[in-house]
Amino acid sequence: MNKNFSSELKNALKKLFSSYGYREYRMSGFEEYALYMENRNFLISDKIITFNDLDGRLMALKPDVTLSIVKNALPEKGIAKYYYTESVYRPNRANTEFKELTQTGLEALGEIDDVTTAETVELALTSLSLTGADYVLALSDVRFSEGLLDEFASGAESREYLRDILAKKRAGELNNAASNLKISEEGVKAFKAVISLPSGALKALDIAGRYAFGAKALQAIKELRAIVNAFKGTRFEDKLQIDFSMTGNTRYYNGVLFSGYVLGAAGAVLKGGRYDKLLDSFAKGKGAVGFALYTDELENLGAGDEDGADAVVIYKSGTDAGALFKAAAKLRQTGISAVVVPENAYNGGALRTFCFANGELTEEK
């Protein structure tokens, strides 16, 4: 990711979170290994870099930020709101080596209500908008998907199969497997409908509401509808979608889930949700909601691909180097940082593009 873009985004996020009353939280680069092992199902990967401290304790380079904040900053009363920019250490996607990844996010801990959850969604939407790319925030709720599984799964095998179908949106496999796993025709219909919801959030909730089984699932639809309605008539109205393929880890998550996507980045760049259950091992009856924006996933964004430059100066083969350098130096004297690149090596994407030809520098519009 272009350094200027990365720095500007982080500063913009810091200003945003501070304006909502969130305080910056800074933490050590490591925690006791036991913290992560006791909550390993909450982690993206259970592979962790460890070392022995001078006092003999087994320590770990932090693979997660949320656990550290919950352990060290959970309030006895009221609500504590924090934001952070931290490095975490996890295996890469190919699971071949560890990587240092940067994430910026926030956590609200304590007496969490629906308004706090909706505010977190608002901050997630605003954070995505600050990337400058087209974006969407997908909403889900573990209570709805669990209600669906409770209604139609006939056993553990059936439940895991249906969960996988839902998570991977493999509706085409339902008919063939339904008879083997004793999934009713009504169940097949329900899962197909939920997998193929329309993009309009309110319309999607109208359809999903027909398949909300149990009081918790009905409450999930009600709360999701309240969140969507909170942004009706705003710039975020068309940025929300409903996607129940996000089923969540039910050992920790207990309500709304959301994932953010931006054009130009592979996979979700933001993930969050309501995770009250994680707090049970720290303090019963407390709530928590938050999200992390994975800035490393945004490395293909930012208008300036030429690292650290505001502009690129393109020149043709055979250009007089001295004349080119003088023109570039004159441009830099105006306060514009510029990288000089041969025409056949330029891949596009700079904030501003200048061409040097016939002894003159002209800006392309």
| pLDDT tens-digit series, residues 311-337 | 888 898 889 998 999 999 999 999 888
Residue 13 and residue 159 in one domain: no
- Is 271 part of any domain? yes
pTM for this predicted structure:
0.77
- Is 92 part of any domain? yes
Residue 9 and residue 127 in one domain: yes
Residue 103 and residue 198 in one domain: no
- Is 254 part of any domain? no
Scored b (16 or more CB within 10 A) or e, 312-332 reads: bbbbeeebeeeebeebbeebe
pLDDT at 309 over 60: yes
Residue 128 and residue 270 in one domain: yes
- Is 247 part of any domain? no
Count CB neighbours of 154 within 10 A: 13
- Is 91 part of any domain? yes
Domains of the chain: total:
3
End-of-domain residue from the set 275, 302, 329: 302
Residue 355 and residue 213 in one domain: no
Residue 9 and residue 92 in one domain: yes
Nearest-angstrom CA–CA distance, 202 and 208: 10
Asked which of 57-66, 85-94, 114-123 is least confident by mean pLDDT, the reply is: 85-94
Residue 274 and residue 130 in one domain: yes
Q: How confident is the model at residue 108, as a pLDDT?
A: 96
Residue 11 and residue 86 in one domain: yes
* 78 contacts 43 by C-beta, under 8 angstroms: no
Residue 216 and residue 337 in one domain: no
Burial status of residue 300 (CB atoms within 10 A of its CB: 0-12, 13-18, 19 or more): middle
Residue 121 and residue 60 in one domain: yes
pLDDT at 351 over 70: no
| pLDDT tens-digit series, residues 126-162 | 999 999 888 999 999 999 999 999 999 888 888 998 9
At 92, which CATH number?
A: 3.30.930.10
- Is 343 part of any domain? yes
- Is 190 part of any domain? yes
End-of-domain residue from the set 277, 302, 327: 302
Q: How confident is the model at residue 306, as a pLDDT?
A: 42
- Is 253 part of any domain? no
Domain containing 103 equals 1-134+263-302
The two three-digit tokens of residue 48, written as one number: 């962790």
Mean pLDDT, range 78-100, rounded to an integer? 83
Nearest-angstrom CA–CA distance, 137 and 75: 29
Residue 130 and residue 269 in one domain: yes
Q: Which residue has the higher pLDDT, 171 or 244?
A: 244
Residue 192 and residue 275 in one domain: no
